[in-house]
Amino acid sequence: MGLMLFMVIIMSMALLYFLTMLPLELPGKTIGSAKECAGLYYLQVEDSSKELQANSCAVVSPNSFKSVKLWHYQLGHPNLRDAELIQRIGAATSLELRASGIHYTFAPCVAVCKDPRWGRCYESYSENTEIVRKMTSFVSGLQGQPPDNHPRGYPFVAGRNKIIACAKHFVGDGGTEKGVNEGNTILSYEDLEKIHMAPYVDCIAQGVSTIMVSYSSWNGVKLHGHHFLINEILKEKLGFKGFVISDWEGIDELCQPYGSDYRYCISTAINAGIDMVMVPFRCEKFMEELTSLVQSGEVPIVRIDDAVERILRVKFIAELFEFPLTDRSLLDTVGCKIHRDLAREAVRKSLVLLKNGKDPSKPFIPLNKKAKRILVSGTHANDIGYQCGGWTCTKYGSSGQITIGTTILDAVKEAVGHETEVIYEQYPSTNFIESNEFSFAIVAIGEAPYAECGGDNKELVIPFNGPKIINIVADKIPTLVILISGRPLVLEQSLLEKMEALVAAWLPGTEGQGITDVVFGDHDFKGKLPMTWFRSVEHLDQHVEGVNSCDPLFPLGYGLTCNKENSYD
């Protein structure tokens, strides 16, 4: 549809039809088929801060398809330092989402996480702004690469094989005090702009269609009601022409108790510049109050005009009027071998080798594929759910065989020779270890899945008696430890000294063979730390506060290779 038809539709719409564009109604947890509101299709959306591949859920993105692969989380991406690979991952994601009937994904998260105590640390690419900026190439993977003459600030979606992206959470969500989710970021405007706003400039330059506002506050003012940052900075100074969307019930947090003065919440958020509001439970109440606010003049009609124009602009550019439903011709891309191979490549390139041999002159990795007997142990060695983390199948994730994939245990069995015996014991005893002649052990331990506030963690210790398992095993046989986590965790020096090798695998997703590709030597390690690995939470406080004397366990950019003693970026 051309610009003329676009303007005719806008001019012919009545106020009530205008207002039906603003709420993104999310009844229950899923949107099955496309719904119509005033003749305009709702957006089918999915939260792919983890790049989930198929999903009919609006926000919490439970993956309802068992045949798909799940990418590793964003914190592993910047280890690659490979914007082109990130773009390819975005392109694969867009194909599988389109095949599932989903037009809109709540990704990428471009938060600059300054404190791993934050429960959404794994959704961030890095603590380093420049690394996060590089990883915004995910936007052009999802939406397509805009041409050189594309007007700056305007949304861009290349066609039916691409989807609408959403940069989030505007702005400063990764900089809250002590990493408290939905907390307060205390910074000057100059620092906010330099550290946390810069990635949005890159997203806008790539034609990102939508931007989501953060639950958090900046210097005590909630972002969902921040007229200066949303309207004056994002829309006017940065020239963003797509639409601004709230987070899930985000406007309710503008008053205390949450949502108690709903009329105030609505007027404050809309007047601040939010164009579309996620309303999971009170859509009728929202429409009633917003209509009254417009009729009373408390929300100017020009504000509604602006919001509707922005929403329709994105829908036209994404061709949602012409092609509102599932493209069945793309179904073969869902979980296809090409995409699984891409996910496997991303896993092996994201791994960070932190230690290789008690004696640096005698590296422990690559492991011997022809070893007589290998012990595989630990809570995370045979658990797809733990490999995937939060926002997988449910908001908070779960354990077990939640979808099709390859566990670390299965990957080890596939990697070794036929003569090698692989024995799995999740919690091996000293007697068990001594009664077998193991060549070496692989211990996989780490965090349980979590999301948002449920992941805020003041201690950052390895759970599930992980250190105890390492001590028992490493006391008796040479041991490689694979840490599955959404962030750096406390590693006691005594524990680190006992193990022969340590690999940070982050949350690798379903393709466990990406890990064995590297630890058994088919590929070398390429990953570098996206965050500083602190010695203790006390050291972490000093690092976050910028104390120059802080001595980290491993610095930002650290990562060994098998071919060199050290490789530091």
Characterize 406-442 residue by residue with b for buried, 16 or more Cβ atoms within 10 angstroms of its Cβ, and e for exposed: bbbbbbbbebbeeebebebbbebeeebbeeeebbbbb
Known active-site residue 452: yes
Long-range residue pairs from 455-459, CB within 8 A, at least 24 positions apart, any chain:
455/118, 455/119, 455/120, 455/121, 455/181, 455/390, 455/486, 456/117, 456/118, 456/119, 456/179, 456/180, 456/181, 457/117, 457/119, 458/117, 458/178, 458/537, 459/490, 459/537
How far does Cα 27 stand from its chain's mean position? Answer: 24
Question: Alpha-carbon distance 446 to 465, whole Å?
Answer: 10
Query: What amino acid is encoded at 460 in this protein?
Result: L
DSSP annotation of 2 reads -
Write out the two tokens for 25. Answer: 């109604």
Is residue 394 helix, strand or coil?
Answer: strand
Going from the C-alpha of 263 to that of each of 229, 259, 421, the distances in angstroms are 22, 9, 67
Catalytic residue among 247, 249, 410, 500: 247
Catalytic residue among 96, 173, 452, 511: 452
- How, if at all, do strands 166-170 and 210-213 pair? parallel
Write out the two tokens for 297. Answer: 């003049």
- Residues 497, 498, 502, 507: is their CA dihedral positive or negative? negative
Q: Return phi, psi of residue 245, to 5°.
A: -115, 145
What's 315-355 look like in SS3? HHHCCCCCCCCCCHHHHHHCCCHHHHHHHHHHHHHHCEEEE
Known active-site residue 332: no
Whether the Cβ atoms of residue 112 and residue 128 lie closer than 8 Å to each other: yes
Alpha-helix runs per DSSP H in 144-218: 189-191, 198-205
Whether the Cβ atoms of residue 93 and residue 51 lie closer than 8 Å to each other: yes
Catalytic positions: 247, 452
